[in-house]
Structure 1
Amino acid sequence: MATRAPDNVAAIPPAPPVRSSPGTNRRHLVHRLDVKGSPYAYVAPFFLLFCAFGLFPLAYTAWVSLHEWTLLSDVHTFVGLDNFRTLLADDYFWNATFNTVSIGVFSTAPQLLLAIWLAHLLNRPLKAQTIFRVTLLLPNVTSVVAVVVIFSQLFGRDYGLINWVLSWFGAGAVDWNAGTATSHAAISVMIMWRWTGYNTLIFLAAMQAVPRELYEAATIDGASGFTQLRKITVPMIRPTIVFVVITSTIGAMQILAEPLLFGTYSLTGGPDRQYQTLALFIYENFTKLDFGYASAVSWMMFVFIVIVAAINYLLTRRTRGSLT
């Protein structure tokens, strides 16, 4: 039986609101700053270094390109776009541009195809996988000077190993340094040897993220290894392919050490400038102390890199339908 409280019992007053202490508010503020500000603090060193060593030199180079700027005089005359007008009429500049594009195409396209194929082979269960992967990375960590010196001997005209092998098929001695096509082929082989293994490991990392069930289902359906590569692997790693294509293109546009050290140390890229690249052309003008003109060439190379990278990105995106 329920009982009713006496009428003379006073009602219990509501509890007073809980007031946070100053220390609690301070801890809450610190927590919010930690959650909201930590990501910016972590990435801030990169942007500070980028502004100091990337953005500022880029802007300063643009300013120098608008002047007649040499170390022989303390007076830097503002000439506007005259350096760029001279550049567009310079046959040596267009020759260096052609050589850069030619070597870039010869080295990048076969390199990426070979890297995808090697990654596809290493993606299968193999014994001593770690040894194979480390071996692929060794050419990339080898000194570029050592690589060029060795390959210059291999492509030697009189005693080179490549000409010795070609002599088995009745071919005469090839002067790899003299011709445009031969020098481009030799330099492209050096670049492919250095970077194919590195790109293979990038593709391999992307392939290992592809679900194994897709390959098992394709195997049950009777798909061959090449069909699985074309129908499953390539479409699934398309973002990685886009990344590698763009980075390889940027690297190909900046080739310097290989043509500089190939054969003889020459800033002109051979007696007829047959393998002088844009980076080597910039280096040549800097050694002439013509900083204004060299800066203009640098900016033109930067524009070319942006254009070529954008074209590669658009072409790679459009091939999505044909790959699937």
Structure 2
Amino acid sequence: MDWDKLRIFHAVADAGSLTHAGDSLHLSQSAVSRQIRALEDSLKTTLFHRHARGLILTEQGELLFDATSSMVKRIEAATARIHDSEEEVFGELRVTTTHGFGAMWLAPRLAKLYEKYPDLKIDLMLAENVLDLPMREADVAIRMKEPSQADLIRKRLMAIRMRLYASPRYLDKHGVPDSIEDMQHHRLICQNVQSAQVSAGLQLNQQLLSIVKTTLTVNNYFGVLQAVQSDLGIGVLPNYIIDGNPHITRVLPEVESVEVPVFLAYPEELRQSKRVSAFRDFVQEQILEHRRSLRALADEQSS
């Protein structure tokens, strides 16, 4: 089967339009259309339903698109390995992690990575769902649980816990709770129980929601943090967001979730990737630096 025609078919199926596919392939719409018709003739089947709003794959088209998608991912993996044979760290690295960790811990630190490797291109994909690394939906993942797939290299980075925090202004106005039962006199800010979150955080939220009378629930940690900083109540947040923040106070130190492990993982086929190694080492260095800064802060406060 002619790979050129398959490549054009894949672009059309992905774009849902002859025009958009032609733009991405630098071909005219008529040239793309001819190639699709020739492919359909060679397969003796119809691959697309045509209508005014674009193209929709037929059942046979869906089967072929699954095959070409797999082929494209394999080519991308091979291309990545070829590029990784070079000495310099450059090119695209697709990193997936949760919204909270990616936006509030990782992204603010990436400037140091770019300083060291200015030709690196990071595609940061923030999602609560788990992307498939062996299928090359991403190159590297930072996950809040140990990956279950056997063909992944994994590295435990650290552990986090969900804890209770409030602003000093809120506590000055409403008082500091002395026990978990005192939470009934405070507004709880947390992720709603329908939100995607680690099970440890969900369990702590459910325990607290059974006690409090007034709540503000948000579907992400950034919203919880903003509400806490706006003096709206006592929030449930992962400690990696708050550690070292002088403007937020931890309350009820005895109340916290069980430990949540954080893992970095990547496919076995990227073991020799210089981009992956550079990113892995960078994350580990940042974690060590963060721990050192917390120890220095604790020493300063105790002296």
Interval containing the TM-score (normalised by the shorter chain): under 0.3
Greater RCO, 1 or 2 (C-alpha within 8 Å, sep 6+): 1
Instruction: Answer with 1 or 2: which has the greater Rg.
Output: 1
